């Protein structure tokens, strides 16, 4: 009987590597109520020469991923405190969950998509995410574009942060991944 369970467990593991599913909310971002200024914090577009410092903030192995994002012409924004990077957020003109997955779903004209946001743990819970987003939005507005983003269906803390800053759920999508690459996006529901 144990052999049968081991075989079934192995089959399930193989199937999960072949195909997997992920639900995500797509948001139209806003920065309502985030006018608060944080002394000593600066938000600025990142450059290629910032990537090594950025990778050391989270994981040095991400340097190649960050470099590929720059090659895909994705925009990096940095949150700095006293000259040190304490957060980042990536923007793309295409809906690319991560460029290394090669998913592309074109957004409406004059819309950019924000993904992969990070704030250092010691600075979380102070309202910096809203401040950071509002500064990025100011830049987007200046350039005549809207800011959109996504959140995993199960990531309740990201959803609360987005809703707290005034973001509005636009739709629910299903991402279907074959052979460890996202290949298919299915629109599930509009809000």
Q: What is the residue extent of each domain of the chain?
A: 19-190
Q: For residue 51, what is the enclosing H or E element?
A: helix 51-58
Least confident range of 39-43, 85-89, 108-112: 108-112
Q: What's the pLDDT score for residue 160?
A: 84
> pLDDT at residue 97 above 60?
no
Least confident range of 20-24, 32-36, 53-57, 95-99: 95-99
Here the tokens at position 114 are: 């924000």
How far is it, in rounded angstroms, from Cα 17 to Cα 119? 31
What is the mean pLDDT of the segment spanning 64-92? 90
In terms of DSSP bridges, do strands 146-152 and 111-119 run parallel, antiparallel, or are they unpaired?
parallel
Give the model's confidence band at 35: pLDDT under 50 very low, under 70 low, under 90 confident, else very high: low
Are 119 and 132 in contact, with CB atoms under 8 Å apart? Answer: yes
Here the tokens at position 35 are: 């006018």
| 19-190 is classed CATH 3.40.630.30 | yes
What is the secondary structure of 118-178 as a DSSP string? EE-GGGTTSSHHHHHHHHHHHHHHHTT-EEEEEEETT-HHHHHHHHHTT-EEEEEEEEEEE
20 vs 54, residue with greater confidence: 54
What is the mean pLDDT of the segment spanning 46-74? 87
The pTM of this model reads 0.72
What is the mean pLDDT of the segment spanning 44-55? 91
Are 74 and 91 in contact, with CB atoms under 8 Å apart? Answer: yes
């Amino acid at each position: 009987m144990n052999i049968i369970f081991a075989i079934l467990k192995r089959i399930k593991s193989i199937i999960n590597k072949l195909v997997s599913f992920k639900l995500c909310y797509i948001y139209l971002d806003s920065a309502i109520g985030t006018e608060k200024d944080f002394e000593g914090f600066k938000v600025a577009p990142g450059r290629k020469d910032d990537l090594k410092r950025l990778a050391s903030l989270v994981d040095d192995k991400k340097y190649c991923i960050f470099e590929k994002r720059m090659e895909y012409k994705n925009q990096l924004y940095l949150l700095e405190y006293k000259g040190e990077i304490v957060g980042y957020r990536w923007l793309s003109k295409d809906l690319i969950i991560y460029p290394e997955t090669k998913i592309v779903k074109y957004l409406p004209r004059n819309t950019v998509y924000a993904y992969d946001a990070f704030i250092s743990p010691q600075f979380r819970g102070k309202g910096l995410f809203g401040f950071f987003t509002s500064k990025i939005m100011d830049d987007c507005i200046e350039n005549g574009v809207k800011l959109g983003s996504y959140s995993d269906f199960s990531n309740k803390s990201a959803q609360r942060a987005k809703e707290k800053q005034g973001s509005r759920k636009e739709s629910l999508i299903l991402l279907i991944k074959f052979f460890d690459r996202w290949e298919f996006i299915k629109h599930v529901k509009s809000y």
